[in-house]
């Protein structure tokens, strides 16, 4: 795609603005699923199991809603996106303002492995010098679908004070993030203190399984793809179009992509057009070089040690991942 084709595409597709109707339909799906899940859980037995299963896509979708609201692409008005994003972030366990501001940096800096706040850990001294026990824990968790990476990604990137201060320099933004984090901590402590049994019986299992599934999706998006390292030098950011080469999409059955993952799997297209609402992505029809079948990619990736998958790239390992 040359420059003129890209500009024409942007001009055409950005007419697809956020929609109140589409946005509220998207928002209603996970909350309805959670409500049905909690209702089924009251019956116990097989219905309890069904309720747990139904809660899994709900938690996947609530994370996607946080993602979309952070881009202001879920609903037409910024304040509406902020409100819904904060509500959904409670269930996603991600501080919304931390997500919104750090994810903005991710889209500015994608392609520079040591500058992007979501990939810098891959080339950090801590990651490159893991001891034997740490490597074993990482590799075993990956093989057994224990969501260590989803946990570390959310906590280490969006809750960690050091990471936030590294990524966000604006004082007002920092204050906003730390207020957001403080309020969430108070809320979570209160909920676990007064409603632990309810959370354990109705929410915890589905949430953890959703993290296990999201592990594969999140790690697929930029892991093991060759990227340059700035080494502290002043470098030019890659354009949205140029970021596509550092991104991977996963193809899956359309009904799963649209109604379970809310098109979150179309990651190359998302980097090309980051403000395009997710409910339009499946209708664009562009093809990209790093697109993989979800099940094939996961099968190959699970055969590789997690430390190799995350902390190295295919130009160094010659692995087809």
How much is the pLDDT for 79? 97
Residue 313's DSSP bridge partners are 224
Residue 224's DSSP bridge partners are 313
Site of tokens 């339909």: 25
Question: How many structural domains compose the chain?
Answer: 1
Contact 240, 267 (CB under 8 A): no
The answer to whether residue 108 sits within a structural domain is: yes
How much is the pLDDT for 124? 81
Spans of the chain below 50 pLDDT: none
**CA 40, 262, 76 angle in degrees (round to 5)?**
110
How much is the pLDDT for 2? 67
The answer to whether residue 158 sits within a structural domain is: yes
How much is the pLDDT for 15? 81
Token duo for residue 141:
């968790």
The answer to whether residue 4 sits within a structural domain is: no
The answer to whether residue 252 sits within a structural domain is: yes
How much is the pLDDT for 1? 66
| Residue numbers of the domain that contains 224 | 16-317
Question: How does the average pLDDT of the chain come out, rounded?
Answer: 94
The answer to whether residue 9 sits within a structural domain is: no
The answer to whether residue 122 sits within a structural domain is: yes
Maximum alpha-carbon separation in the chain: 60
Q: State the sign of the Cα–Cα–Cα–Cα dihedral 34, 181, 220, 268.
A: positive
Which residue pairs from 32-38 have beta carbons closer than 8 angstroms and sit at least 24 positions apart in sequence?
A: 33/57, 33/58, 33/61, 34/58, 34/91, 37/202, 37/206, 38/202
The answer to whether residue 106 sits within a structural domain is: yes
The answer to whether residue 8 sits within a structural domain is: no
How much is the pLDDT for 274? 94
């Amino acid at each position: 795609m040359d420059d003129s084709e890209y500009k024409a595409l942007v001009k055409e597709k950005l007419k697809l603005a956020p929609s109140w109707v589409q946005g509220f339909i998207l928002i209603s799906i996970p909350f309805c699923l959670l409500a049905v899940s909690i209702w089924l859980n009251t019956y116990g037995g097989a219905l309890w199991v069904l309720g747990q299963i139904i809660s899994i896509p709900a938690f996947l979708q609530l994370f996607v809603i946080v993602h979309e609201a952070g881009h202001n692409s879920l609903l037409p008005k910024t304040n509406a996106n902020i409100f819904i994003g904060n509500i959904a972030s409670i269930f996603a366990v991600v501080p919304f303002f931390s997500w919104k501001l750090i994810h903005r940096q991710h889209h500015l800096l994608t392609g520079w492995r040591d500058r992007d706040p979501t990939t810098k850990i891959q080339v950090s001294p801590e990651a490159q010098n893991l001891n034997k026990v740490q490597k074993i824990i990482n590799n075993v968790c990956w093989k057994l679908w224990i969501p260590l990476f989803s946990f570390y990604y959310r906590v280490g990137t969006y809750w960690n004070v050091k990471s936030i201060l590294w990524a966000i320099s604006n004082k007002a933004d920092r204050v906003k993030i730390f207020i957001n984090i403080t309020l969430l901590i108070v809320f979570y402590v209160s909920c676990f203190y007064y409603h632990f049994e309810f959370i354990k019986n109705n929410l915890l299992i589905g949430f953890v399984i959703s993290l296990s599934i999201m592990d594969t999706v999140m790690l697929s998006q930029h892991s093991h793809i060759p990227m340059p390292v700035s080494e502290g030098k002043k470098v030019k950011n890659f354009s949205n179009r140029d970021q596509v080469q550092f991104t991977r999409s996963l193809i899956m059955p359309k009904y799963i992509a649209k109604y379970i993952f809310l098109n979150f799997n179309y990651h190359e297209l998302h980097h090309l057009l980051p403000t395009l609402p997710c409910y339009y992505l499946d209708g664009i029809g562009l093809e990209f070089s790093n697109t993989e079948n979800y099940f094939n990619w996961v099968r190959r990736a699970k055969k590789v040690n997690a430390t190799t998958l995350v902390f190295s790239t295919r130009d160094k390992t010659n692995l087809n991942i």
